[in-house]
Chain A
Amino acid sequence: MKIAVRVNLHSVELEARAYETLLTALRGAGFRSVRLTCGIGVCGACTVLIDGEPISSCLVLAPAASGADITTTESLPDDDPVGVAFQEVSAFQCGYCTPGFVLTTRALLSENPNPSDDEIRHALAGNLCRCGSYTKIAEAVRLAAESMRG
């Protein structure tokens, strides 16, 4: 079936079977920043924003996303404050989990422009980084928050 959504502000028609996940449909449409790791909503590698909310796309059936406004990192502009902060701090190693962290950070900072260290840890606990870049990721979130507050 065809599922009409908006991805990164562009209208996209996803092709998927009724039982397939949004993750599968997005990857099939070429959005490869959205990645499968655990497949059970634990690791956050498949995080996308749906109407601004971070969602594990491996847990969403593709048809349920019909009409949704989806954000992935592919269209992140070079001056995106979260992206810039991750780059300045070197808050990544292999990079596989990074898009998920970037999107979760964006959602956190849009709700809470000045999060405490504890709030950062709790907000990002649903994103796993096996390379273990957590210290620098938390630093990047603080830096992004600072630059967005201006």
Chain B
Amino acid sequence: MTLDPRITGRIEYGQDQRMDGMLHARILRSPHAHANVLSINTSGVPSGVVTLTRDDVADLEPLYGPMVKDQPIVARDRVLHVGDAVAAVAARTLREAEEALELIEVEYAELPGVFDPVEAADGAAPRLHEGIEFPADLRPDGHNVCHRFRLKSGLGNDGFAAADVVIQDSFAIAGAAHVPMEPHATLAYWEGGRLHLITGTQTPFNVRRDMAALFRIPEEMIRVVVAPMGGSFGAKTFMRLEPITAALARKARRPVRAVLSRAEEFITVNRHPAQFRMRLGANRDGTFVAKSVDAWWDTGAYADCGPSVCTKGGYAAVGPYRIPHVTVDSRCVYTNMPPAGAFRGYAATQGVWASERMTDLMAERLGIDPLELRLRNLLREGDRFATGEVMHDVRFAECLRSAADAVEWGEGRKNKGLAVMLKGMQTPSRTGVALEIDAGGHVVLRSATTDMGQRPGTAQRNLASRALGLSPELITVGPNDTDLVPFDTRTTSSRSTFMMSNAIREAAHDLRQKIAERFEVAPEDLVLSDEGVGVAGSPDLIRPFADLAGLRGDGTFVTPGGLDPDTGQGIASSHWHQAAASAEVSVDPQTGVTTITRLHTAVYAGNVVDRAGAELQNEGSTIFGIGTALFEGIVFEGGQVTNGNLSDYEIPSMLDVPEFTYDLLEGGEHSHGLGEMAVPVVPAAIGNAVAAAGHPVRNLPMSAESVLGAQ
């Protein structure tokens, strides 16, 4: 056995990439949340150090962004958040770069800022962006709302008239930090007019497309090589360090590497803080009648993927329930906070918290067992969700029963809580993959799925092995390089295993077809084995794979869909992530400290393709959920992060994690992603348990103070 390079530490992440003559980048950042930039003076910087300011990028597109072009490479006239990039330097050593930053003089004129999405949506708040062009599918509203997702089903709010009981409540969820152990890291160099990026990203094809637009060059003039990531959790989606590093490399005419500091991680991209106002109407027997969701998502200074977050969080807050009349009004709002973006549990974490606390508040109001109330209303096979789409392969009740059984729900509900959720997958989306025979007789899997520790290579080798009927050892995973891999939308939303399982099946079919053509036989007469290719009826004629080098099968899988932003009708998700959790807690009445005594998650896994990987993903999701539930929250003061280090912002250690159990519910026709299903349900189950212990919490995280103060 050879030890895995992740154990010996010989694996090279983005931050370990290096080239001869490479310069090190550092970024000068705004100390103000909102200010005019009056002047930038770099004349004190030594001549050997390359500087980058707004004057150096005047020939490029002024703005970029995955959904709204609203972010400059470096500040133009204004800075919009603490940490906004104002200038950058590249020097032979990191130390030299850091010293050079101190020598740049910037003159600011401070402006009033806005730090709350509800206030920012108000007409009196300062306006953050002027003259932005919004794409046609977005619904900007007022001067800081960059997208408003609305959904109406049945009679909408008029439906409440038919309910016996209507409750309303408010919920808030703090921003959180991804804390990938490896910070963001990018190496850029230009060669013959072509830009090469070696970068830790979950979205190589988004980066290639958006960099091409920004630098005004064809996509073919950009090559993105994805380095293995030391964790990401959504942080390394879309463009982060790529624009500024490439611009520095262009000016320096040398390779440049940028690696963020830990403090910079907290001001680069975070989880959206969110606020909800919710109403729920039901009949006395517990049947849900109507629901309304009002949500405000604080996307910070730049939209990033916020419009998609407010959409997915908007419908996730409806919950996996049959409700005849639903209204959602979900606003993605600019503020002078650091940008928020994709985060493991993507928007469902916030929506499910509000929705599942609301379900328990209704159970309490009606005097009905929270399990019974949920089972009575859960979506079943063939039901229509609030988006109008028909639900298939429905497992919510199975998940919920597994969760309830694990905490012996029937034996008493004291200090126990449940939660159940649906979470969408990126839809529409597209995945291509290729299986190519190489000269060494291996089948090379060419896949754009990025590796952030979720073992995509193992899962996809197993999928290819099954599809071709060969041992996994015969399959190798090729380099993740946009020059070499077919297009794939991105590695997000736990979509890769599902999408790739379908695309790999197609590619295997195509490869068999190509081999059959070479042999001039029918594909069904081919016999593939680890020894090579044979033909049925001629057992002695086996050709080794090496003889077929160069043959390649291609597969593509596409999911159509999408939602109308005005009505919320359409296809939200081509298939659904389904999960439930249960918790039992004890709360110290003197201190408010919550101790988890039992915790269980149940997730619909479909066909598991990598057992250890599936377990690791679900265990990791559960632990992520514990952090979000009890202590993870970024504290801001006037847009400034006040706990931006790992002493003040704590992530779970072994001592924070109780023993927990889980079920991976298998079955059905498909392989499912399960990288983030426990994240949304764990906080909600713990919250409902804390409420059952006499502390009706409404906000995350459930700090000891907030638990004691909950009325």
A residues adjacent to B (C-beta < 8 A): 17, 32-40, 42-43, 45, 72-74, 76, 78, 80, 83-84, 86-87, 90, 92-99, 102, 120-122, 124-138
A95 and B179 contacting across the interface, CB-CB below 8 Å: no
Distance, CA A99 to CA B5, complexed state (A)? 10
Q: A42-B647, A90-B616, A93-B616 are in contact. Are A32 and B12 (CB under 8 A)?
A: yes
B621 contacts partner chain A, Cβ-Cβ < 8 Å: yes
B619 and A132 contacting across the interface, CB-CB below 8 Å: yes
B652 and A132 contacting across the interface, CB-CB below 8 Å: yes
Distance, CA A128 to CA B10, complexed state (A)? 19
Distance, CA A135 to CA B182, complexed state (A)? 21
From A85, which residue of chain B is reached at the shortest CB distance? B7
Distance, CA A74 to CA B12, complexed state (A)? 12
CB within 8 Å: A-B pair count? 155
B642 contacts partner chain A, Cβ-Cβ < 8 Å: no
Q: Which of A43, A83, A130, A133 contacts B7 (CB 8 A)?
A: A83
B58 contacts partner chain A, Cβ-Cβ < 8 Å: no
B647 and A40 contacting across the interface, CB-CB below 8 Å: yes
B13 contacts partner chain A, Cβ-Cβ < 8 Å: yes
Q: Which of A17, A94, A121 contacts B654 (CB 8 A)?
A: A121
B647 and A84 contacting across the interface, CB-CB below 8 Å: no
Query: Which residues of the other chain, B, contact A33 by a CB distance below 8 angstroms?
Result: 8-10
Q: A121-B654, A130-B233, A132-B652 are in contact. Are A74 and B620 (CB under 8 A)?
A: no
Q: Which of A38, A124, A125 contacts B262 (CB 8 A)?
A: A38
Q: Pick the 3 closest A-B CB pairs, nearest first.
A: A33-B9, A95-B6, A94-B453
B655 and A94 contacting across the interface, CB-CB below 8 Å: no
A80 and B3 contacting across the interface, CB-CB below 8 Å: yes
Between A92, A95, A138, the greatest number of chain B beta carbons within 10 A of the residue's beta carbon is seen for A95
A102 and B7 contacting across the interface, CB-CB below 8 Å: yes
Query: CB within 8 Å of A: which of B599-649?
Result: 612-613, 615-616, 619-624, 645-647
Query: Given known contacts A37-B182, A90-B616, what 10 new A-B pairs fall within 8 Å (CB)?
Result: A32-B16, A37-B183, A78-B1, A92-B6, A93-B454, A96-B453, A125-B655, A130-B181, A130-B651, A135-B657
Q: A42-B647, A78-B3, A96-B13 are in contact. Are A125 and B233 (CB under 8 A)?
A: no
B646 and A42 contacting across the interface, CB-CB below 8 Å: yes
B231 contacts partner chain A, Cβ-Cβ < 8 Å: yes
A to B CB contacts below 8 Å, 30 in the list: A32-B9, A35-B181, A35-B182, A37-B182, A37-B183, A39-B262, A40-B646, A73-B7, A74-B8, A87-B7, A92-B6, A92-B453, A93-B231, A94-B228, A94-B452, A95-B5, A95-B7, A98-B6, A98-B9, A99-B8, A102-B7, A128-B646, A130-B181, A130-B651, A132-B622, A132-B624, A132-B652, A133-B616, A134-B652, A136-B612
Query: CB within 8 Å of A: which of B174-201?
Result: 179-183
From B646, which residue of chain A is reached at the shortest CB distance? A38
Query: CB within 8 Å of A: which of B316-331?
Result: none
Query: Which residues of the other chain, A, contact B538 by a CB distance below 8 angstroms?
Result: none
Query: Which residues of the other chain, B, contact A80 by a CB distance below 8 angstroms?
Result: 3
B167 contacts partner chain A, Cβ-Cβ < 8 Å: no
A86 and B7 contacting across the interface, CB-CB below 8 Å: yes
B9 and A131 contacting across the interface, CB-CB below 8 Å: no
B229 contacts partner chain A, Cβ-Cβ < 8 Å: yes
B653 contacts partner chain A, Cβ-Cβ < 8 Å: yes
B653 and A128 contacting across the interface, CB-CB below 8 Å: yes
- A-contact 0/1 string along B1-31, CB 8 Å cutoff: 1111111111111001000000000000000
Q: Which of A96, A126, A135, A136 contacts B231 (CB 8 A)?
A: A96
